[in-house]
Structure 1
Amino acid sequence: MKIIMSVRGLDGVLETLQALPAEVVSKKGGPVKLALAKAARVIRAQAVANLTATISSTQDSESTGLLAKNVIVTRGKEPHGTKGERYLVRVRRKAYDGDKLGRRQKAGKRVTTHKTASLKEYGSSHQPATPWLRPAVQQKGQEAIDVFTADLNKRIDATVRKLAQQNKGK
């Protein structure tokens, strides 16, 4: 006895599966890029909160807010030798205008947000360290991973539905 079975729609499924990797991770980023950026913003928010608390806890602090405004999330170059995405929580380099008395600083002696952030994070021989970025990663690292996982799953499901809809009639 011979049984003949016919399966329809498999062409669309194969096309969907073949199209998925390029859709998920592409030069433009796709769902991985967007989910990773969302997770990095979780860590950035905690870093800014830690920084603000650190600045307000120091005595004689007249903060301009420039450092906190320049803690940013940026897309970095892909890790060396691999394909993938990288997002960085970092401080944008900006120079402070002058000292407390309004005097302009000499070009070689300009104080930047990079220098201030580094001194706060690691300290110096004259200033104790008051870390704000590393604790943010420790405090919100697991939450960032959870946000990344949930958002990536949601975006991949949407991408699969979109590609399946496109390839349905083929």
Structure 2
Amino acid sequence: MGITINKKPELDISGRRWVEIAPGAKILVGSIASPMYKSHQALIKRHLAAIDQQTRVGTQAFNLADIPNAEFEADDDLFIDLAARHLIFDWEGVDVSETPGVQAKYTPELCVQLIRQMPSVYFTAIQTGLDVAVRSEEKAQETAGKRSPRTAGGASGRARQTKKSAGSMSA
């Protein structure tokens, strides 16, 4: 005979929701609380902070002439790419100019192009991703507040202290 223990599934923090971005077009958006989104967002923020530190941004020592002749990524580009890879997962009703009327297969690269043409898609995705995360947290709080159903077993609670037997020695 084998014994199994049913583990309750973890709360779904990567729930997804379809949201309309234009008449006949919609995107599938996940939660900003998803581990991949959060960890990659943190990496981007650390990357941008390191650039700021190298160039002494925000200090009196900052001087435009001292900045090396290197091209840094714009934070907009990084956050748009993040949304296209870890927040938006699919779409419906989106096509490309080479094949009008034929739905394009979702790719993060095409999604970046869509966001560049329609910046409102990015803001819609961020707002929806936040809403999915908030509703997931509300659901978790609601679930945590519910009492467990009674079982056929004895009452649970604080255990009674045991009495020491006459022959036991205390240390």
- Alignment TM-score, normalising by the size of structure 2: 0.36
Greater length-normalized contact order (CA 8 Å, ≥ 6 residues apart): 1
| Bigger CA radius of gyration | 2
Structure holding more helix per residue: 1
- Alignment TM-score, normalising by the size of structure 1: 0.36
